[in-house]
Amino acid sequence: MESLNPATEEVIETFDADDERSVEEKLQQAHETYEEWKQQPIEERQRLISKAGEVLRENKQKYAEIMTKEMGKPISSAVSEVEKCAWVCDYYAEHAGEFLQDERIGTEPGVESYISYEPLGPVLAVMPWNFPFWQVFRFAAPNLTAGNVGLLKHASNVPQCALAIQEVFEEAGYPEGAFTTLLVGSDTVEDVISDDRIAATTLTGSTGAGRSIGENAGKNLKNSVLELGGSDPFVVLPDADIEDAAQTGAQARCINNGQSCIAAKRFVVHDDVYDEFMEKFTEEMESMTIGDPMDEDTDIGPQAREDLMEGLHEQVEDSIEAGASLELGGEPLDREGAYYPPTILTDVPDESPAGEDEMFGPVASVFRVSDTEEAIERANKIRFGLGASIWTQDKTQAKEVAREIESGMVFVNELVKSDPRLPFGGVKDSGYGRELAHHGIHEFVNEKTMWVTDVSDTDEMVE
């Protein structure tokens, strides 16, 4: 299993994958640790997740450099990602006890009835390379604090990140087996899900991977959460602050080198402001600094792998061949590394990759619409439903349009982002279930109904 620097195309380090025996040992260790871990008081679990946040902050530069060297994320973004992981640890250290306390429900006199939130067991997390720390921690922080244990099958191109995350929990003082990395390929996942010791599974990844994981979890009657792809609309209405929309839109499209599920990908712009928006948006996209991801001034680094860049470019070429117009970029950069420039396509046909598929790189598809109703129709005219961004200064209109958008999240006059305080997830082909907030910590717990009759009261009534 190779750790390859996409900016230099150099092999950083090579790791031996876990063999069948090693996987078995790790599964058994997780199973045995769970039996003890679930008995730990919530206060102890909160203390440890708080400590994990401290470990992250103390080592943020080291972990950020691992991310940048392994998948090409600009170093400033990588540092911010580590800090965000510490934030989610802090959040559940503070709120997990509140979220998991018994929920009292009044039923009958002489009866104590309530919901008890209890852990399920070892949970398998299948995670992607694009936010290699954050997407793991937004799973791990709530679920370990709920009393589950975690096994991580990370993307094969970020083994150093996977092992570093395990190190965080070890340094924080978690017992062995509470969080374990499995260095395995995708072909092992089905067997792990099927194992009786695994209670549930979660995936962040492509729609295709989600269908496979969901099918395997379903046939084994195991709970699953799927956070899948997206092609988020960025809707610009006539009264929008165009300068702000254009600047934020470029950031929303190119963040993380354009490799984000919740990146703005389809720009739906009202005819009244289309020309003005395009002028400013193009300027903002052109101004992005492309370069060495270890340089603090770099906005866009390389794509995470050469083959991913080649696939993105093929989507652009196919879209142009189908009738789209190229306004900016559109060719891999002639330099060492998997670099692709900010790219803008207009006049995009519906039946083209830019019109119906997810473009996982800094490529923006721009659509002109004549009114708000057409903007809503265009925003919803796709199989994905992860997030959406709406730009207007009319708050009443913003709320009305937001309710019509088919997505799991809508942000008004802001780019779509994940926040520990808010539930995160999508609808349609963008998956199901929620991460973060109190919703996320409840995905992998047994919501047990408890009915306790006061026997002394019963006896008195009988007498």
Closest CA to 423 of 441, 403, 399, 405: 441
Closest CA to 55 of 83, 77, 33, 78: 83
Count CB neighbours of 128 within 10 A.
22
Query: 291-330: b or e for each residue (b if 16 or more CB lie within 10 Å)?
Result: bbbbeeebbbbbbbbeebbeebbebbeebbeeebebbbbb
**240 phi and psi, to 5 degrees?**
-70, 155
Closest CA to 335 of 4, 1, 2, 7: 7
CA pseudo-torsion sign 282, 317, 376, 440: negative
Determine the straight-line distance between the first and last CA of the chain, rounded to whole angstroms.
74
Strand partners of residue 235: 268, 390
Closest CA to 384 of 432, 430, 431: 430
Query: Around 327, how many Cα atoms within 13 Å sit in the side-chain half-sphere?
Result: 20
Count CB neighbours of 463 within 10 A.
5
Q: What is the spatial distance between Cα 362 and Cα 300, in angstroms, rounded to a whole number? A: 9
The secondary structure of residue 49, as a DSSP letter, is H
Out of 70, 227, 358, 435, pick the active-site residue. 227
Q: What is the spatial distance between Cα 84 and Cα 53, in angstroms, rounded to a whole number? A: 9
Q: What is the spatial distance between Cα 376 and Cα 358, in angstroms, rounded to a whole number? A: 19
Q: What is the CA radius of gyration of the chain?
A: 24
Across 243-372, the runs of DSSP E, i.e. the strands, are 264-270, 325-328, 343-346, 363-369
Q: Where are the alpha helices (DSSP H) in 322-367?
A: 353-356
Out of 85, 254, 261, 443, pick the active-site residue. 261
> Is 261 a residue of the active site?
yes
> Is 227 a residue of the active site?
yes
3-state DSSP call for residue 426?
A: coil
What is the set of active-site residues? Answer: 227, 261
